[in-house]
């Protein structure tokens, strides 16, 4: 057997053993035997790069090379499902389907896995692309990360179609989630609120080798393409299982409403024994022909609905209340509890939100409290068992008056529920939070830095504010834990590249209260430089489009603080862009001034985000919904039928890409 034949044999065997272990849960060899085969393949591939294959089993380990995600348009829009929370709404759905079809139909009942949606494209039996849901019309290409998930096949077997798309949910099993949070807690890093957030955050990691260590899983639930094996959705997924996909074994076809409720009631209890998080049931009309006949609304299919389980509730003891400080100085009270199992995880802490919530609950230390967890949020206290309080009532919980981190007296703005620490320039959590905001993608976009790295640099005394980032050297950070020369070089390179980020994003990156992306763009366009903004009066600021009293006052307060002005001077010295360049000014006009524009559909020349930016640059305003005030709709392919119908009804003009670009040229 020659080298190429040995490599092909090893790949084939490893794909088969991987499927047996992670999908069928029926391994044929030991872990050591598997590792030995993998090691042999890696050595042969290293020695013979001419036989490289992007779908080799060795791709499962990931790479430590950073890679930015590119946006990819979905061939078929990824719509969300309508949610329902009561049996009466399920009955209404069933009756709507009955009337809409006027013939017999089957419903496929499935578990609603609580993860992050993914769309996988296969050509000639090989995985070629994995794309997140994104905005439903386009998403991020995360193929390299998805290849590390061992339950997703890289190469198929059997009589698969030449080309198709299959969709599903990427999950972090409870076991992996608990282990990850234990590791983060030991490193004093922020914990993930739930497995869905952990899975989503992991999938967006720039480092696929990190993704490989977190042991994500996946269930596939919808097959699309021109070569469907049969008319039945259930039958198509059973066929997909034969090709190598992990399909839920808990799917069931039913014909009556009674069978639907039996399925719901069974899994409302039994789901607690599953290894992954679920938050409901999905009901789908099984026949593809009937699905097509029922069609879609603007946002969701008429042939499917999601029934969400009620939040789980547990009773446990309140031991104490601690307080966390956020980036903007918001103080969040946290209840520390006796450990209790809820939704498959051990809960020891729960959010109390603000002082009004605490007062409304009339909390005392030692109270037996009801804790709920709704799947997409961290646990919260919803009530107190007054009968369990008895004579020995503990100390009443009163909201703190001073910051737990820096000791500053807290303030509460009129009309707001939250308390704030005003010491924004010297309170450690606020400083770290501001740095994290500063380096984020939509701000300075500094790759290689994240909350963990920022915390480490801060603790080591390397950075005390955002300006310190521009004083860092490779030699400062390469000796640190989990760093090294290459990582350090990439961070310094990315910091250096951020010096060319345009003024409007630098302004957003400063983290001034109430100054988000859109407001920063308005201010940059109206005033042109940080000096003009710093010297602007309250009235001048309020005269700028969409800048009201609250934002104007926040800007005045920010620049009145000498520490903020000093920071800006240091950032200026570092070479950041604090005024609009002449070429940027040339890109702006008033051709769309005063016009409200809705964007709908899929475009060829530019992305939706690019069109939004063009609208703003030419004085227009992006709006999300159609009304009588809408000036026109910028429409691409597959414009939503509901939007088209409403536009016709209101007599609103529909403008295509070419016509729009001609208007602003």
Q: Which residues are catalytic?
A: 112
Enumerate residues 6+ apart whose C-beta is below 8 A from 265.
none
* Number of other residues whose CB lies within 10 A of the CB of residue 306: 19
Buried b (16+ CB within 10 A) or exposed e, 432-463: bbbbbbbbbeebbebbbbbeebbbbbbeeebb
What does the DSSP 8-state code read for residue 620? Answer: -
Q: What are the DSSP calls for 332-378, one per residue?
A: EEEEEEEEEEETTEEEEEEE--SHHHHHHHT-BTT-EEEEEE-SSS-
3-state secondary structure at position 312: strand
3-state secondary structure at position 221: strand
Closest CA to 166 of 113, 221, 232, 244: 221
Q: Is the alpha carbon torsion for 654, 660, 662, 665 positive or negative?
A: positive
Which run of H or E residues covers position 306?
A: strand 304-308
Note the helical H segments in 48-173. 87-101, 143-146
What does the DSSP 8-state code read for residue 204? Answer: T
Q: Kindly report each contact of residues 489-493 with a partner whose C-beta sits within 8 Å and lies 24 or more positions away, as own/partner.
A: 490/66, 490/447, 490/448, 491/446, 491/447, 491/448, 491/449, 491/453
Q: What is the pairing mode between strands 621-622 and 71-73?
A: unpaired
439, 455 Cβ separation under 8 angstroms: no
CA–CA separation, 314 and 331 (whole Å) = 26
């Amino acid at each position: 057997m020659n080298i190429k034949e040995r490599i092909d044999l090893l790949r084939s065997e490893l794909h088969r053993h991987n499927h047996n272990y992670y999908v069928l849960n029926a391994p044929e060899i030991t872990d050591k035997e598997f590792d030995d085969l993998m090691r042999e393949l890696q050595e042969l591939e290293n020695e013979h790069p001419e036989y490289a294959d992007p779908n080799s089993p060795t791709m499962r380990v990931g790479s430590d090379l950073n890679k930015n995600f590119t946006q990819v348009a979905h061939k078929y829009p990824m719509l969300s499902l309508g949610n329902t929370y009561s049996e009466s709404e399920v009955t209404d759905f069933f009756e709507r389907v009955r009337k809409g079809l006027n013939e017999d139909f089957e419903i496929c009942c499935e578990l609603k896995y609580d993860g992050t949606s993914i769309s996988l494209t296969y050509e000639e039996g090989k995985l070629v692309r994995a794309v997140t849901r994104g905005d439903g019309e386009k998403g991020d290409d995360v193929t390299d990360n998805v290849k590390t998930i061992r339950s997703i096949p890289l190469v198929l077997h059997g009589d698969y179609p030449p080309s198709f798309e299959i969709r599903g949910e990427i999950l972090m099993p409870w076991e992996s989630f608990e282990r990850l949070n234990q590791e983060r807690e030991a490193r004093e890093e922020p914990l993930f609120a739930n497995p869905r957030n952990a899975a989503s955050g992991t999938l967006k990691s720039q480092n696929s080798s990190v993704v490989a260590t977190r042991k994500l899983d996946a269930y596939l639930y919808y097959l699309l393409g021109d070569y469907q094996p049969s008319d039945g959705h259930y039958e198509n997924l059973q066929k997909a299982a034969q090709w190598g996909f992990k399909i839920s074994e808990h799917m069931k076809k039913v014909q009556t409403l009674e069978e639907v409720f039996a399925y719901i009631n069974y899994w409302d209890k039994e789901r607690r024994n599953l290894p992954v998080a679920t938050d409901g049931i999905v009901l789908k009309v099984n026949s593809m022909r009937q699905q097509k006949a029922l069609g879609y609304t603007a946002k969701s299919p008429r042939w499917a609905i999601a029934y969400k389980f009620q939040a789980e509730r547990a009773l446990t003891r309140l031991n104490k209340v601690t307080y966390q400080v956020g980036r903007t100085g918001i103080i969040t009270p946290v209840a520390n509890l006796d450990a209790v199992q809820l939704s498959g995880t051990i809960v020891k802490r729960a959010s109390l939100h603000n002082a009004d919530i605490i007062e409304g609950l009339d909390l005392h230390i030692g109270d037996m409290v009801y804790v709920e967890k709704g799947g997409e949020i961290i646990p919260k206290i919803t009530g107190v068992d007054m009968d369990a309080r008895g004579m020995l009532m503990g100390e009443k919980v009163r909201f703190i008056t001073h910051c737990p981190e820096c000791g500053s007296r807290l303030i509460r703005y009129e009309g707001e529920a939250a308390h704030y620490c005003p010491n924004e320039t010297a309170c450690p959590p606020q400083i770290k939070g501001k740095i994290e905001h500063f380096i984020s993608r939509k701000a300075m976009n500094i790759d290689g830095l994240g909350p963990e790295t920022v915390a480490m640099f801060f603790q080591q005394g390397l950075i005390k504010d955002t300006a310190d980032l521009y004083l860092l050297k490779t030699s400062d950070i390469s000796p640190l834990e989990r760093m090294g020369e290459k990582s350090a070089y990439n961070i310094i390179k990315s910091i250096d590249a951020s010096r060319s980020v345009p003024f409007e994003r630098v302004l957003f990156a400063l983290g001034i209260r109430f100054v988000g992306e859109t407001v920063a763009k308005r201010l940059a366009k109206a005033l042109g430089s940080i000096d003009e903004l710093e010297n602007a009066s309250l009235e001048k600021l309020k005269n700028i489009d969409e800048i009201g009293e609250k934002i104007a006052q926040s800007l005045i307060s920010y620049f009145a603080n000498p520490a903020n002005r000093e920071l800006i001077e240091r950032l200026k010295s570092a070479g950041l862009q604090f005024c609009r360049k002449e070429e940027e000014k040339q890109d702006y006009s008033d051709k769309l001034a005063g016009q409200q524009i809705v964007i709908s559909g899929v475009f060829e020349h530019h992305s939706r985000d690019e069109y939004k930016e063009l609208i703003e640059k030419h004085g227009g305003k992006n709006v999300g919904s159609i009304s009588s005030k809408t000036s026109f709709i910028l429409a691409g392919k597959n414009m939503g039928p509901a939007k088209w119908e409403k536009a016709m009804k209101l007599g609103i003009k529909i403008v295509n890409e070419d016509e729009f670009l001609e208007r602003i040229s």
